[in-house]
Amino acid sequence: MKELTTAPPQSIFQQRRSGVLLSVTALPGSSALSLEAGLKADLKADQGAGVEVPNCGFFDSACQFIDWLASGGFSLWQVLPLGPTHADDSPYLCLSSLAGESHFIGLQWLQKNGLLDPQLALFDRCHSAALESAHHHFQQAANGHHWHQDYVLFCAEAQDWLDDFALFMALHQQHKHQAWYEWPSPLRDRHSSALGDAEQQLSNEIAQIKFVQFLFFKQWSEIRDYAKHRGILLFGDMPLFVAHDSADVWANRDYFKLTTEGQPEVVAGVPPDYFSSAGQHWGNPHYSWPNLEQDNFSWWIQRMRVHLKMFDLVRIDHFRGIYSAWEIPATSSTAAGGRWQLAPGEKLLKALHDALPELPLVAEDLGLMEPEIAALRDQFDIPGMAVLQFAFDGNADNPYLPENLKQHSVLYSGTHDNDTSLGWFLGLSEQQQQQVTDYLHCDPKDLPRALLKVALDSLAQLVIMPLQDLLGLGVGHRTNTPGTVGNNWLWRFQWQQLDTDIAEQFMRLNRQSGRC
């Protein structure tokens, strides 16, 4: 599969830009497999009868959203991680840090490319069955499907991670989604004879999983092509840590601090901060940095290389963790009792830059940052982040106030972990609200538009705004509430919300602020 050239960071940040933060899962998904009007009418009738049709196939909407971004004068789309999630749907705890979420694959796209029968009345709740049908069409195509060579090339190029991932997922399904450390010990501990037997027994399932990964990266490559054509950069997000129950940890146990039974010795989290007064207990296993360093960080290089095939710019979430990370005893159920553990951040970043020159990174450096962390970020010329919602504490030296920003930085009105800007404002005390409106020289009814205008007019070279803020949405529309499980990652917009008036308004604001 062809690779797109990633723009060097200098070219990305040499001009003023603005972008929109929107999870792929917030796109309107495909409602029905078939494009035929009759089948669409059947679906609407089912919905009217109270049948819930889950949203899948989000990639089918991506190019339409890119068109809307371009019409608003934006030049960047930031997404959340695109990996396959566990039952909680968190994109920051995936079954693999390298694979893609199968539910994103567009069914209309598969129809257009001759892999699904247009007469087949399958709804989104049968998305996995549709992908199986597509694989069958691919295998049975007379004279071979026109993607055959692309598929062979993809499997060869991705072999280093794809083989392990496909076997991991097939075993995960066979064991009814039990975590790998609960499997029989020969499989848990990757005995070669047990793996060989499993590969033979599950060969059909493994082939299906590999094919689905091919489809994911194939469609995303077309989306990226389209974005490049429309002048839109794609901005990805890389969590620092990976999930314990993941192909990454199962296949690379030496790179993590685990017991002989595969259990973590210590887990990741953060001490009390803005988002949680009790801190956060994430549960991810910590890295065995000496083992990673001994292999010249090859696993990290592989991970970054896959991301750069997909994105023009990559944010490292929890950047401070490559300098020092909060280690919590595995027996503790809270973040209390943890300690900071140093990591070889300079050596890691040097290895990444040596392998991938002109690495286009952004550091998520929010919260308490020691001077050494800022120095590490600046040493590698990595822009940091600022969040406008954090600027109004009454201190003139607040680093997130627009007049205190660095030009080489990324300013957000809010992130996926914040409430919407209107929801945040409405949750402030009267005194705090007055402080905000005095600074913005506006009335409360002008929020959040006045806040977004200040962001666009700021010195920051790149400004990112969640779509909810552009739409002026308030309480009940946030993407995620840190430290909670359930009712997260569910928000979606509808196409009728993206009217041309909003695009025209932001085109004017982007032009006025020199960001078009």
Q: What is the pLDDT of residue 143?
A: 75
pLDDT digits (tens, 9 = 90+) for 107-152: 999 999 999 987 665 554 588 999 999 999 999 986 788 999 999 9
Which residue in 364, 365, 419, 469 is the catalytic one? 364
Asked if 363 and 345 touch (Cβ cutoff 8 Å), the reply is no
User: Which has the minimum average pLDDT: 184-188, 224-228, 236-240, 396-400?
Assistant: 396-400
Amino acid (one-letter) located at 319: F
Q: Does residue 461 surpass a pLDDT of 50? A: yes
**Higher local confidence (pLDDT), 5 or 16:** 16
pLDDT digits (tens, 9 = 90+) for 418-431: 999 999 999 999 99
At 486, the pLDDT band (50, 70, 90 cuts) reads confident
Indicate the DSSP class of residue 81. -
Scored b (16 or more CB within 10 A) or e, 112-127 reads ebebbeeeeebbbebb
Percent pLDDT > 70 in the chain is 91
Rounded Cα distance between 181 and 322, Å, is 26
Quote the strand ranges of 64-130, DSSP E.
Answer: 76-78
pLDDT digits (tens, 9 = 90+) for 307-340: 999 999 999 999 999 999 999 999 988 888 899 9
364 is catalytic: yes
The torsion angles phi and psi of 228, rounded to 5 degrees, stand at -60, -40
Which residue in 273, 346, 378, 417 is the catalytic one? 417
A 10 A CB-CB count for 146 gives 10
pLDDT digits (tens, 9 = 90+) for 43-100: 333 333 333 345 799 999 999 999 999 999 999 999 999 999 999 999 999 999 999 9
Q: What is the pLDDT of residue 7?
A: 58
In the block, tokens 């972990």 appear at 417
Asked if 75 and 146 touch (Cβ cutoff 8 Å), the reply is no
pTM (global) more than 0.75: yes
Q: What is the pLDDT of residue 141?
A: 83
- Find the mean pLDDT for residues 467-484: 94
Sorted by where each starts, the structural domains of the chain and their CATH numbers stand as 9-144+207-512 (3.20.20.80)
At 377, the pLDDT band (50, 70, 90 cuts) reads very high
Rounded Cα distance between 376 and 320, Å, is 9
Contacts 24+ apart (CB under 8 A), 433-437: 435/392, 435/394, 436/392
pLDDT digits (tens, 9 = 90+) for 339-372: 999 999 999 999 999 999 889 999 999 987 899 9
- Find the mean pLDDT for residues 238-262: 97
Q: What is the pLDDT of residue 369?
A: 84
Q: Does residue 492 surpass a pLDDT of 90? A: yes
Q: What is the pLDDT of residue 51?
A: 34
317 is catalytic: yes
At 385, the pLDDT band (50, 70, 90 cuts) reads very high
Please give the structure tokens belonging to residue 412. 């957000």
At 5, the pLDDT band (50, 70, 90 cuts) reads low
417 is catalytic: yes
At 274, the pLDDT band (50, 70, 90 cuts) reads low
Find the angle CA(421)-CA(509)-CA(58) to the nearest 5 degrees.
60
Q: What is the pLDDT of residue 460?
A: 96
Helix (H) or strand (E) holding 409: strand 409-412
Q: What is the pLDDT of residue 514?
A: 97
Asked if 320 and 83 touch (Cβ cutoff 8 Å), the reply is no
Which residue in 317, 372, 378, 457 is the catalytic one? 317
- Find the mean pLDDT for residues 479-501: 91
User: Which has the minimum average pLDDT: 26-30, 65-69, 127-131, 376-380?
Assistant: 26-30
pLDDT digits (tens, 9 = 90+) for 210-224: 999 999 999 999 999
Q: What is the pLDDT of residue 121?
A: 52
Asked if 180 and 250 touch (Cβ cutoff 8 Å), the reply is yes
